[in-house]
Amino acid sequence: MSIFSFFTLFGGLAFFMFGMSLLSSSLEKMAGGKLEKLLKKVTDNPYKGFLVGAIITIAIQSSSATTVMLVGFVNSGIMELSQTVGVIFGADVGTTLTAWILSLAGIQGNGNFFLELLKPVNFSMIFAFIGLLLFTAGKRQKTKDIGTMGLGFAILMTGMTMMSDSMSPLADMPEFADMMTIFNNPFIGVLIGTVITGIIQGSAATIGILQGLSMTGQITLGMAIPIIMGANIGTCMTAILSAIGVNKKAKRVAAVHVAIKIVGTVLWLIIFYGLELFFHFEFLNRNATTFNIAVFHTIFNVANTLVLFWFRNLFVKLAYKVFPDSEEEQELFLDERLMVTPGIALAEVQNSMDRMVSKTKANLDEATDMLLNGFKEETFEFVQKNEKKIDGYEDHIGAYLTKLTTTQHLSEEDKKKSTMILQGIGEFERLADHASYISKSVNELDEKKIRFSPDAQNELHRVISVCQESYTSAVEAYRTGNIELARKAEPLQNVIRTMCSTFKTTHVQRLADGTCTAVQGFVFNDLLYSCERIGDHSMNIAAIVLRMSAENEGSEKYLHDIKLRKDPENERMYDEFYNKYMK
């Protein structure tokens, strides 16, 4: 075996791993939204979780990627630890499909056209040609992704063929046969399988290398079986690395994954080799083939699942023992690990945005209610604490979404969603600011024992009431895309401005008459200012909804023009709201 055979071996491994990565990433892009829907259906029913885990892993051809996604989902709060265990077991079974695909490399055609067509060296070229056509000629991104899948699969199979060809000279080397005898020791086999898989972070690649070696005829099943078991432990490395820098809930997912692999491997090593002492399995001396390696890989993972699945709650308890709860857990809204699947990442951004909107609405409700009904210490503390959380949402969502849109490919629909979120986060944060300002003004009134005159109280009640309708309509329009609610924002904004302008004038008159004091005047004007700004930001939020609607899509000047044009319907609604709140 020459130095060039080693070049071919490592080059084949590079092709194999790149092809696997390309295939997996393109499948993830195509299935991103569907994966999100599937995972959202995972409840505490472990059987459903098992099925979902198997389907997702078959779809993206990587149990490690599935586990990394689970770490990200738990870190982001979309799933609980108990929901992930069934998915992990399903992923272990789903990943066996890769070994079956790779086993095609061992097919002997013997001149039969259909069998020859099944050989990777032949059909992978067809995949490559079709994939290239779709990638270069396709106009839609989905078509290009399908083309990338074909190219990825062809590169993967080409790498497998290169590895097999590079190792074929080993069949004639007595030194290689002598060296391989050390693998008759199952513990060394497990160790080698673990180390190789831990380094390259993919059990599929280790199984592929093993299947390539089996074509030399120098590998027996007795050598291959421990390596397969070790590969199942080594694949934990990806989950361990993904758990670095996440909260304890997410670390527990990695702990469960590692525990299942280690316990399963140790259990079957004891059972299998314990039985072998008594029954002396003759098949262990048979040559390993690509086919029987795939068979044992499947049997091992299925048997492991059948036995350990019933002890899943014990694995959850073990994870809690390893990573116990602390008094304070840092709240993380999003996880960058989800960016490998942009559709899922954007869905999680939307979930975080929904929480931010809900917190903002709650702050506005509590602050305005406190202004109308009197100061409450617990309400004031709630608003201030919530406002800090909302600030964190704005920073985190903005930074995360900017990175997602600049580093990952998004569909046109996803780009539209991301634009709407980016434009909305600032407006909702400003609304939360003014809820905080109102609560602070009410706190000041309470501390200084200030009481407004009956007329001033009546005016504040009226302007707060229209503000409540304004922001409530805007929030609901943003959540649902309701155009009719969004169209209420502009006339409501104009009514708020009219009211604030009128009430400032009447308050100046009360100051002149001595009915109100200067201190009351400062607080009163601060409250009116916040009311005006609530109307403005509610209008901006509604304008985002209107601009993003199908009938207004593509109008770059819409946000500006909507504030300037004369619309009979707007004027009618203005009169309606004016009569409702001013008279």
**Three-state SS string across 408-426, please?**
CCCCHHHHHHHHHHHHHHH
Give the separation between CA 246 and CA 406, rounded to whole angstroms.
23
pLDDT tens for residues 504-551? 898 888 888 888 888 888 888 999 999 999 999 999 999 999 888 754
Helix (H, G, I), strand (E, B) or coil at 178: helix
pLDDT band at 361 (very low <50, low <70, confident <90, very high): very high
- Output the pLDDT for position 53: 85
Token couple for 525: 């004007």
- Least reliable range by pLDDT among 127-131, 248-252, 419-423: 248-252
pLDDT at 387 over 60: yes
Give the separation between CA 97 and CA 57, rounded to whole angstroms.
9
Q: Which whole-number Å values give the CA distances from 47 to 58, 90, 103, 312, 523, in the listed order?
A: 17, 9, 29, 12, 60
Per-residue H/E/C for 222-243: HHHHHHHHHHHHHCHHHHHHHC
Give the separation between CA 84 and CA 113, rounded to whole angstroms.
45
pLDDT band at 324 (very low <50, low <70, confident <90, very high): confident
- Output the pLDDT for position 463: 92
Give the separation between CA 418 and CA 15, rounded to whole angstroms.
35
Which H or E element spans position 133? helix 120-137
Instruction: Work out the percent of the chain whose per-residue pLDDT is above 90.
Output: 21
User: Does residue 101 or residue 138 have the better pLDDT?
Assistant: 138
Supply the DSSP string of 500-563, one letter for each residue.
HHHHHHHHHHHHHHTSS-HHHHHHHHHHHHHHHHHHHHHHHHHHHHHHHSTTTTT-TTHHHHTT
Report, as an integer, the average pLDDT of 43-58: 81
pLDDT tens for residues 409-455? 887 788 888 989 999 999 999 999 999 999 999 998 888 888 888 88
Report, as an integer, the average pLDDT of 26-30: 68
Give the separation between CA 351 and CA 75, rounded to whole angstroms.
13
Q: Which whole-number Å values give the CA distances from 400 to 250, 338, 339, 356, 362, in the listed order?
A: 19, 11, 9, 15, 24
pLDDT band at 325 (very low <50, low <70, confident <90, very high): low
Report, as an integer, the average pLDDT of 457-473: 92
Give the separation between CA 496 and CA 499, rounded to whole angstroms.
5
Which residue in this structure is represented by tokens 């590169």? 155
Out of 41-45, 396-400, 574-578, give the one with best mean pLDDT: 396-400
Token couple for 84: 């992930």
pLDDT at 470 over 90: yes
Token couple for 415: 């780009």
Residues in the chain: 583
Token couple for 374: 């009197």
CA dihedral sign of residues 242, 245, 249, 251: positive
Amino acid at 251: K
Give the separation between CA 336 and CA 245, rounded to whole angstroms.
11
pLDDT at 319 over 70: yes
pLDDT band at 43 (very low <50, low <70, confident <90, very high): low
pLDDT at 79 over 60: yes
Q: Which of 480, 496, 495, 500 is nearest to 542 (CA)?
A: 480
Task: Tell me the HSE value of 103 on the side-chain side, using a 13 A CA sphere.
Answer: 16
Out of 7-16, 98-107, 499-508, give the one with best mean pLDDT: 499-508
Helix (H, G, I), strand (E, B) or coil at 220: strand
pLDDT at 258 over 80: yes
pLDDT band at 6 (very low <50, low <70, confident <90, very high): confident
Average pLDDT, whole number, for the chain? 81
Q: Name the burial class of residue 362, with classes exposed (0-12), middle (13-18) and buried (19+) by CB atoms within 10 angstroms of its CB.
A: middle
Q: Which residues pair with 287 in a beta bridge?
A: 220
- Output the pLDDT for position 35: 61
Give the separation between CA 403 and CA 139, rounded to whole angstroms.
25
Give the separation between CA 408 and CA 380, rounded to whole angstroms.
41
* pTM greater than the 0.85 cutoff: no
Amino acid at 85: V
Token couple for 455: 């007329």
- Output the pLDDT for position 97: 83
Amino acid at 517: T
- Least reliable range by pLDDT among 130-139, 166-175, 180-189, 483-492: 166-175
Identify whether the C-beta of residue 19 lies closer than 8 Å to the C-beta of residue 155. Answer: yes
Identify whether the C-beta of residue 344 lies closer than 8 Å to the C-beta of residue 35. Answer: yes
Q: Which residues pair with 220 in a beta bridge?
A: 287
- Output the pLDDT for position 333: 53
User: Does residue 578 or residue 117 have the better pLDDT?
Assistant: 578
Helix (H, G, I), strand (E, B) or coil at 287: strand
Report, as an integer, the average pLDDT of 341-347: 83
Token couple for 452: 């407004």
